[in-house]
Amino acid sequence: MEPLVSELPYARRPLIAIPARFSATTSALRHAAEVNARALVEAVWRAGGEPATIHPHAPGGTADPAEVAARLTRFDALLLPGGGDLAPHRYGASHAHEAVYDVDDEQDAFDLELARQALATRTPLLAVCRGLQVVNTALGGTLHQDMGGPDREHRHVRHPVALAPGSAIARATEAEKAEASCYHHQHVDRPGDGLHITARAADDTVEALELPTHDSLFLAVQWHPEDTAHEDPTQQRLFDALVAAGAARVG
């Protein structure tokens, strides 16, 4: 798979911001860490981008919009990755389901503000799994907190997804269907303002969203394209599209 950005020595690769995920333990480090999945980073690199993990800074669970906006201006595109569950109060729920896990107020506040600023500035955006849920929440949407237990959740599952003809994701992947690698137990309930559903699983789970008013690239998928991007050109094209959109901003 050929990247869409020049690989000449020392060429300026579009800088792709990826907010870190907090990790309590990481091999070979003596402290808690901030990480991103290697498969995700490598998919961006294959596309010709420079993946840049950024620190989630939102003390006390509150992010400074001006600070987040200023930090985002350094980057050409944004990738919102997967991770733990959003706190249900972030989308108006009065209580948390017992299956909700790995909630972190600082992570939530930072990701949500980063999504808002990316949307406000028309920054090219690819949102993956939790990232889709973050964007949906940032736009006033809601989530189903749990899909109904192990027999209904999409963990360690691959399944076909039909892509709406003419949609942003169909154009980006150059496909009418995709084989989705999933790891989630939550999914979209009510789509956020302006969001259109462009893919569903056979069980009616929302698998992709787009925002027609976003006049730059906007791709949001509930699955994990990084899982199979190294062997599936359809999945790699999502990262190619993000990097190409970032490159267009570099000039």
Cβ contact 234:173 at 8 Å: yes
Q: Which of 154, 184, 214, 224 does the annotation list as catalytic? A: 224
Residue 196's closest CA among 112, 139, 131? 139
Report how far residue 211's alpha carbon sits from residue 209's, in angstroms, rounded to the nearest whole number. 7
| 129 in active site | yes
Q: Which of 113, 129, 182, 187 does the annotation list as catalytic? A: 129
Report the sign of the C-alpha dihedral through residues 97, 90, 71, 48, in that order: positive
Report how far residue 37's alpha carbon sits from residue 206's, in angstroms, rounded to the nearest whole number. 23
| 226 in active site | yes
The torsion angles phi and psi of 54, rounded to 5 degrees, stand at -115, 145
Q: Which of 113, 153, 210, 226 does the annotation list as catalytic? A: 226
Report how far residue 35's alpha carbon sits from residue 68's, in angstroms, rounded to the nearest whole number. 19
Residue 42 CA to its chain's centroid (Å): 15
Residue labelled with tokens 């691959």: 158
Report the sign of the C-alpha dihedral through residues 31, 36, 39, 43, in that order: negative
**Which amino acids are annotated catalytic?**
129, 224, 226
